[in-house]
Amino acid sequence: MGRTMAQKIIEAHLMDGTMASGGEVGLRIDQTLTQDATGTMAYLEFEGMGIPRVKTELSVAYIDHNTLQNGFMNADDHAYIRTVAKKSGVHYARPGCGICHQVHLERFAVPGKTLIGSDSHTPTAGGIGMLAMGSGGLDVAVAMGGGAYYIPYPKATRITLTGTLPAFVTAKDIILEVLRILSVKGGVGKIIEYAGPGAAALTVPQRATICNMGAELGATTSLFPADDATRAFLAAQGREADFTPLAPDADAVYDEEITIDLATLQPLAACPHSPDAIAPVAELGNIQVDQVCIGSCTNSSLADMMAVAAILKGKTVAPTVSLTISPGSRQVLQMLSENGALADILASGARLLECACGPCIGMGQSPPSGGISLRTFNRNFEGRSGTADAGVYLISPETAAASALTGHITDPRSLAAIPAFVQPESFAVNDNMVDAPAGETEAPTIQVVRGPNIKPLPLAKPLADSLTLPALLKVGDNITTDHIMPAGAKILPYRSNIPHLSQYCFEGVDPEFPARAKASAEGGFIIGGQNYGQGSSREHAALVPLYLGVRAVIVKSFARIHKANLVNAGILPLTFQNPADADGINEGDTLTLSGILAGLGAGPLTLTNERTGQKFSPVCDISPRQAAILQAGGMMNYVREQQNA
CA distance 296 to 304: 11
CA distance 225 to 195: 8
Q: What is the H or E stretch that residue 140 is in?
A: helix 137-144
CA distance 66 to 147: 28
Residue 172: name the closest of 296, 65, 290 by CA.
Answer: 296
CA distance 143 to 57: 11
Does 289 lie in the same domain as 246? no
CA distance 400 to 406: 10
DSSP 103-121: HHHHHT--TT-EEEESSTT
Could you give the C-alpha distances from 312 to 157, 305, 341, 480, in angstroms and in order? Answer: 38, 10, 10, 35
Domain count along the chain? 3
Q: pLDDT for 287-296, tens place per residue?
A: 999 999 999 9
Give counts: helices (H), strands (E), the chain: 21, 27
Does 272 lie in the same domain as 255? no
Final residue of a domain: which of 381, 411, 441? 411
Q: CB-based contacts of 48: which residues, under 8 Å, 6+ apart? A: 457, 636
Residue 437 lies in a domain: no
Residue pair 532/560 in contact (Cβ under 8 Å)? The answer is no
Residue pair 283/411 in contact (Cβ under 8 Å)? The answer is no
Q: Estimate the share of the chain in helix, then strand, then coil, as percent rounded to the nearest 5.
A: 35, 20, 45
Looking at residue 456, its pLDDT comes to 87
What is the CATH number for 41?
Answer: 3.30.499.10
Partner residues linked to 27 by β-bridges: 14, 149
> Starting from the edge strand earliest in sequence, which strands make up the sheet with 524-527, in order?
572-575, 550-555, 524-527, 466-474, 590-594, 606-609, 615-616
Q: pLDDT for 352-370, tens place per residue?
A: 999 999 999 988 999 999 9
Q: pLDDT for 9-52, tens place per residue?
A: 999 999 999 999 989 999 999 999 999 999 999 999 999 999 99
Does 248 lie in the same domain as 310? no
Residue 569 lies in a domain: yes
Residue 430 lies in a domain: no
Residue 644 has pLDDT above 80, yes or no: no
DSSP 1-18: -B--HHHHHHHHHEEES-
Q: pLDDT for 301-346, tens place per residue?
A: 999 999 999 999 999 999 999 999 999 999 999 999 999 999 999 9
Residue 180 lies in a domain: yes
Does 63 lie in the same domain as 101? yes
Does 224 lie in the same domain as 322? no
Residue 154 lies in a domain: yes
Does 500 lie in the same domain as 525? yes
Residue 214 lies in a domain: yes
Does 301 lie in the same domain as 238? no
Mean pLDDT of the region 151-173: 98
Residue 252 half-sphere exposure, CB side, CA atoms within 13 Å? 20
CA distance 504 to 514: 7
pTM of the model: 0.95
Final residue of a domain: which of 219, 238, 264? 264
Percent of the chain past pLDDT 90, that is, above it, reads 92
Looking at residue 202, its pLDDT comes to 98
Report H helices in 588-644.
596-599, 624-632, 635-644
Does 360 lie in the same domain as 318? yes
CA distance 63 to 68: 11
Partner residues linked to 223 by β-bridges: 193
Could you give the C-alpha distances from 352 to 183, 293, 336, 348, 567, in angstroms and in order? Answer: 33, 10, 12, 11, 41
Report H helices in 364-413.
397-406
Mean pLDDT of the region 488-512: 94
Final residue of a domain: which of 264, 299, 331? 264
Q: pLDDT for 117-127, tens place per residue?
A: 999 999 999 99
Per the model's pLDDT, the better-predicted residue between 71 and 151 turns out to be 151
Could you give the C-alpha distances from 417 to 203, 297, 403, 420, in angstroms and in order? Answer: 20, 26, 16, 9
Q: How far is CA 302 from the centre of its chain?
A: 22
Q: pLDDT for 60-87, tens place per residue?
A: 999 999 998 888 999 999 999 999 999 9
Does 281 lie in the same domain as 228? no
Q: How far is CA 312 from the centre of its chain?
A: 30
Residue 389 has pLDDT above 90, yes or no: yes
What is the CATH number for 514?
Answer: 3.20.19.10
CA distance 134 to 120: 4
Residue 149 has pLDDT above 80, yes or no: yes
Does 508 lie in the same domain as 395? no
Question: 227 falls in which pLDDT band (50, 70, 90)?
Answer: very high
CB atoms near residue 257 (< 10 Å): 11
Looking at residue 595, its pLDDT comes to 95
Does 582 lie in the same domain as 549? yes
Residue pair 495/38 in contact (Cβ under 8 Å)? The answer is yes
Q: What is the H or E stretch that residue 590 is in?
A: strand 590-594
Could you give the C-alpha distances from 341 to 322, 395, 417, 419, in angstroms and in order? Answer: 19, 21, 17, 13
CA distance 523 to 517: 6
Distance between the two ends of the chain, CA-based, in angstroms? 40
Residue 602 has pLDDT above 80, yes or no: no
Q: pLDDT for 86-119, tens place per residue?
A: 999 999 999 999 999 999 999 999 999 999 999 9
Question: 580 falls in which pLDDT band (50, 70, 90)?
Answer: very high
Report H helices in 570-623.
596-599
Residue 104 lies in a domain: yes
Q: pLDDT for 450-485, tens place per residue?
A: 999 999 889 888 889 999 999 999 999 999 999 999
CA distance 567 to 309: 46
Residue 266 has pLDDT above 80, yes or no: yes
CA distance 621 to 600: 7
∠ CA 351-357-358, rounded to 5°: 50
Mean pLDDT of the region 384-399: 96
Looking at residue 641, its pLDDT comes to 84
Partner residues linked to 554 by β-bridges: 527, 574
Looking at residue 1, its pLDDT comes to 83
Query: Is 480 strand, coil or helix?
Result: strand
Q: Peptide bond preceding 121: is omega within 30 degrees of 0, i.e. cis? A: no
Looking at residue 398, its pLDDT comes to 98
What average pLDDT is seen over the chain?
A: 96
CB atoms near residue 58 (< 10 Å): 17
Does 244 lie in the same domain as 329? no
Residue 503 lies in a domain: yes
> Starting from the edge strand earliest in sequence, which strands make up the sheet with 149-152, in order?
14-16, 24-27, 149-152
CB atoms near residue 406 (< 10 Å): 16
CA distance 51 to 187: 35
Q: pLDDT for 173-226, tens place per residue?
A: 999 999 999 999 999 999 999 999 999 999 999 999 999 999 999 999 999 999
Residue pair 394/383 in contact (Cβ under 8 Å)? The answer is no
Residue 529: name the closest of 580, 593, 492, 457 by CA.
Answer: 580
Structural domain range at position 346: 268-411
